[in-house]
Amino acid sequence: MQIDPSTRREIGVFDSGVGGFTVLRELQALLPMSRLRYLADTAYAPYGGRGPDEIRARSFAITEHLISRGAELIVVACNTATAHAIEALRARWPTLPFVGTEPGIKPAVAATRNGRIGLLATPATAVSERLRALIGRHVGDREVIVQGCPGVVDHIEAGDLGSPALRTLVEQHCASLRAAGVDTALLGCTHYPLIEPLWQAALGADVRLLRIETAVARRAVDLWRPGSEAPALHIETSGDPDALRSWIERVLGWQAPDVRRWQVTM
């Protein structure tokens, strides 16, 4: 893969859509002098309802693009893409460091008081072999109630972070966790912290919510070799740049970021 000579070393970050911005914010705070490139595959969001082969194909195409722009570290800021694609990505680019995003099962096991843990995830993550293996390695005699949450990401992608329809959906997805009496719950999608108050309200104040984006960013920091590059942030999308720019301004409060269109023929 030829790297454009006009580019510098970058950290590439991608997600099916806007959820990875929760990881990107942490990276900006921890690596303020680095070059970051974020790609939102919003034309194909959400990944949670897509099959493993399609998720892997999109992840491969995005990684190819990020490498072409100078990425020397890739952060897969998407639980679903991590579950279905990260091993294939590492096999394809064995010398390129990848940081995945997975539910923090091990911290949840340490945090639970009653041994019952809830996991809120996209439908694709909820049924993935990688998640089953992760639970099998760390849970022991604890119980994990996995709840797939179809529809939630669609609301967040649309910038709807608090409508009655979304609140009802969140409450429905949390019902099985409440019934099981969990005392700890994992937000198993990078989109989900954007509506953390809704999850907390639906689960109850006594349930401890755990999120993962800070740990993901810190892992990236551990792998990154800072250079002399001028700091920069590039944002790209496979969807509508104006729509993404509006979402960023409205939800994140960033002022008129430059968002460019990325296109690939699959």
Binding residues for substrate, as ranges, are 15-16, 47-48, 79-80, 190-191
Chain centroid to Cα 117, Å, comes to: 20
Cα-Cα-Cα-Cα dihedral sign, residues 165, 170, 171, 176: positive
For residues 24 and 28, give the distance between their C-alpha atoms in angstroms, rounded to a whole number: 6
Catalytic, 78? Answer yes
Cβ 199 vs Cβ 90: under 8 Å: no
Catalytic residue among 11, 81, 144, 189: 189
Chain centroid to Cα 100, Å, comes to: 9
Cα-Cα end-to-end distance for the chain? 18
Catalytic, 189? Answer yes
- In degrees and rounded to multiples of 5, residue 34 shows phi and psi of -100, 165
Catalytic residue among 45, 67, 76, 78: 78
**Residue 6 burial (C-beta neighbours within 10 Å; 0-12, 13-18, 19+):** exposed
Q: List residues forming the annotated binding site.
A: 15-16, 47-48, 79-80, 190-191
**In sequence order, which residues have a C-beta less than 8 Å from that of residue 186 and are 6 or more positions away?**
103, 104, 105, 108, 117, 118, 119, 120, 209, 210, 212
Task: Based on DSSP, count helices (H) and strands (E) in the chain, helices before strands.
Answer: 11, 10
Residues serving a catalytic function are 78, 189
